[in-house]
Structures are given as structure tokens and as C-alpha cells.
Amino acid sequence: MTSRTQSSPPVRIGLISDTHNLVRPEALQYLAGCDAIIHAGDICNQAVLDALAQIAPVTAVRGNNDIGESVAALPTHVKLTVQQVTILVVHDLADVGDDPRSEGIDVIVTGHSHKPAISERDGVLFVNPGSAGPRRFKLPISAGMLIVEGAHASATLDFLVT
């Protein structure tokens, strides 16, 4: 008799931030089929989260513009574990501690700057999906995807509007 190890299927987590009251149809289409969604703040209205929740369960944090009654109660930081990957969600990168790796953090998802970016520092994957809301300056309208497979996480960014 042989024994097989069953690995969990990859988990697709849609990453979105800085929607500022705007739920773009392109964003909803991009996120369709995700297993979960992370919103990294500046939501501004509960209707945004309600629309995203029609696609998948949503984890959201409060951004500096989330002052309305429906979103002001959101936490500023959320830590979640997906398979064997620990993810910290916070709106502003400046609010992340000096040594997230020592806190067991594998991935940090932020927003605030409206600038999409993926980088790795000291074994921690940093992802900012940019802004899926109103265009700011000449910055792109974007969102991201985090794929978690066991103890490994990878991210991609996509432009939603050209």
C-alpha cells in the first residue's frame, strides 16, 4: 500500500485598494473567480465591500479616508493565515514594523500610495495593488492577485483600464 500526500489546491486572493467609493466593472470582472478578496483600505463606503462580497469573502482594513460611519469601524491591521502563509494587511506601508519576518509575516499587502508594486525584502513579499478607484495624476488603475500554494505565495499586478 502506498501513501499519498494530498496538497491543498492553490488559493487565489484578489487584491484591491483605494477604490474611494468607485466599484469599476473592470475590477469586478478581474476579481471574478477568486477564493477571497483583500481590500487594503480607502474604501469610503460600505457599498464597495458589499459589491466585492458578491464575488468572494472580503478582508478589509481602514484607510486614512475611511471616516464614514460604515467603514470607520474597520481595523487598521489584519493578520490572516492562508494555508501556511501569514499575510498582514495594512493601508499605509509606514505602519508596518521594522522586522515583519520576526513576527512570522510572509506577505504584506498595502495600499495608500496608489502605485502598484511588488517587491521582496528579507524574505517577505510586499504587494501594493495600486488603486482601482478614480485615477490619481497619471497613475494606472490596477489590482493584483496573490496565489498561495502551501507555504509559497506569489503575486501579479494587472492594469484594469488603459
Q: Of 109, 61, 42, which Cα lies nearest the Cα of 82?
A: 109
Q: Is residue 103 pLDDT above 50, yes or no?
A: yes
Domain hosting 115: range is 11-161
Per the domain annotation, does 3 fall within a domain? no
**pTM, two decimal places:** 0.94
Q: What are the φ and ψ backbone dihedral angles of 123, each rounded to 5 degrees?
A: 80, 5
- Residue 104 falls inside a structural domain: yes
Q: According to the model, what pLDDT value does residue 154 have?
A: 98
SS3 127: strand
In the chain, what percentage of residues exceed pLDDT 90? 89
Which CATH number characterizes residue 35's domain? 3.60.21.10
| Cα angle, residue 158 at apex, residues 79 and 132 outer, rounded to 5° | 65
List 158's β-bridge partners, or say none.
143
| 65 domain-assigned | yes
pLDDT at 16 over 60: yes
Residue 15 lies in a domain: yes
- Let me know if residue 2 belongs to a domain: no
DSSP states along 125-140: EEEE--BSSS--TTPP
Number of domains the chain is built from:
1
Check whether 97 has a pLDDT greater than 60: yes
Band of residue 78 on the pLDDT scale cut at 50, 70, 90: very high
pLDDT for residue 6 is more than 70: no
Region 11-32: mean pLDDT is 97
